[in-house]
Structure 1
Amino acid sequence: MAATAPVAEEGNPMLLRCERPTVGPHAERFPQALVQDQHGQKFWFYENLIQDKVVLLSFASLDGERIYPIIDNLIKVQEMLGERLNNDVFIYTITTKPEVDSAQQLKEFAEAKGARWKFINGDPAAIRQILAAFSVMGSVHGTAWIGNQRTGRWLTKPARVQPIFIAEAVAMLSTGKYHKERLLDMRSYQT
């Protein structure tokens, strides 16, 4: 289990000047920003959430979900991952509107949808660093990033593509193998 970030002092200048991470393949491309999940728990973005993990990152805002919904699709991916979710594969949704989407609103949204992953918010400047690292612009973003930071391999998929294709990308990056039995029975996963 990853250590959580220490309680941050409000206005601590060290938090504003945090260096880029250096541990892990291509670690320097990720910001080491202090963020929090929908439960108010604080994390260092790279060190606690990305480093040495297989992750699926999505980017959304609560009002953007009304225009371009992606979370329902990721719920289907969550179902396909089963027990692997939050054990060896982690999903994070990072808000694209940190000044609007509060932790409480994200928590209520996640609970209403049945999402069992972390919804990430934080200081708008920190979130903007994360969004920039993944080339996210605007509040509606349709690309999911899937990465294995142990190996440094990353790829993108449209967040609204058939869920099986996202799950297959996660499987390939985490194990190096496809789950062919799922591909053969793809009809059961169609929307």
Structure 2
Amino acid sequence: MTNRRQFLTGLPVAAAVGFTTTAGSSSERAAHEAKAAMERMHHGQVTRTSNVIDSTKRDSFPHLELTNQHGETKAFYENYIENRIVVMNFFSIRDEASFPITEKLSKVVAELGDKVGSEVQIVSITRDPAHDTPDRLKAFAAEFNAPAAWTFLTGSRENSSDLAFRMYRMGHSAKPSNNRKVDVIFYGNGSAGLWGAFPVDIQADDAASRVSWVMPHPIPADGKMRRAGPRVFDLKDPRNHNREV
């Protein structure tokens, strides 16, 4: 197991996507998986990339730069993740008509209200950088009256794939597709390295509540700890059904 972990640490990010379990020793499985990944890259099934995951740096985020809707190019982790409470999604302007993930996220942003900017940053990363230029992203953001703390980012296809892999998505999820039916929105605490996700069709108020789980809270005056996380499941409680119908 140690050999395989060492192997994966220095492996290009996209090459690690879609690994399968095979028989044999750890080193044999790692070699087999690397060969299979390279074959998928050769056939265009996975986006090529030169970035690597280093679990000892930047909470395992690859070092890369992306450009926002105002044309500003910045280091991703240092400017959008580090020491921040973040809500993050992947999207494509051309996909929005068939799969309106940004429209759904805008409802969560509205539910968070004044927390956006003061406590929470919103980050949307395009999967279609060839089309989604900064100017198009700026116009797209205006359609949703996006507050200043909601940043839309573009860069290379490789960078989008790297970040998708960091968030444990399948390789193809970094690419635009009008057949997309299911996706998730991520939320996390960049200081604690704590991350979660909710489906795009969740109720906005429930999504906002989940984001609050990773926010820092003062210790109660009575010293008693309060329960966080998912509510206790109760078949008679209608709140257990939290998706849009």
Q: Which has the higher contact order (CA 8 A, sep 6+)?
A: 1
Q: Which amino acid aligns with 1:132?
A: F
| Aligned CA distance change for structure 1 residues 87 and 20 (closer, same or farther; 3 Å) | farther
Which of 77, 95, 120 does residue 89 from structure 1 map onto?
Answer: 120
Structure 2 unmatched ranges of 5 or more: 1-49, 218-225, 229-238
Choose the corresponding residue for 2:109, options 73, 78, 99.
Answer: 78
**Are the aligned partners of 2:85 and 2:187 in contact in 1 as well (CA < 8 Å)?**
yes
Asked if 1:159 is matched to 2:200, the reply is yes
Aligned residue in 1 for 2:161: 128
Q: Larger C-alpha radius of gyration, 1 or 2?
A: 2
Structure 1 residue 82: Cα displacement: 1.7
Structure-to-structure mapping, 1:11-90, within 5 angstroms:
20=54, 22=56, 27-28=59-60, 30-90=61-121
Deviations along 1:76-107, whole A, 9 cap, x unmatched?
Answer: 21122222212220111100111221111111
Give the Cα–Cα distance (whole angstroms) in 2 for the partners of residues 83 and 61 of structure 1: 26
In structure 2, the residue matched to 1:150 is 191
Structure 1 position 123, deviation (Å): 2.3
User: Aligned-pair RMSD on alpha carbons?
Assistant: 2.5
Gaps of 5+ in 1: 1-15, 179-185
Aligned partners of 1:145, 1:17: CA distance in 2, in Å?
Answer: 21
Distance 2:200 2:135 in 1: 24
Q: List, as ranges, runs of 4+ consecutive aligned residues in structure 1 with deviation greater than 4 Å.
A: 16-24
Q: Tell me, yes or no, if the aligned pair for 1:58 and 1:159 is still in contact at 8 Å.
A: no
User: Number of residues paired by the alignment?
Assistant: 163
Q: Report SS of the residue matched to 1:155.
A: strand
Q: Could you say if the C-alpha distance between residues 17 and 113 of structure 1 is closer, same or farther in structure 2, counting changes exceeding 3 Å?
A: closer
TM-score normalised to the size of structure 1? 0.76
Task: Provide the C-alpha distance between the structure 1 equivalents of 2:162 and 2:128, rounded to a whole number of angstroms.
Answer: 13
Summarize the Cα distance change of 1:96–1:86 in structure 2 as closer, same or farther, 3 Å threshold.
same
Instruction: Tell whether the 8 Å contact from 1:21 to 1:32 is kept in structure 2 after alignment.
Output: no
Distance 2:161 2:154 in 1: 10
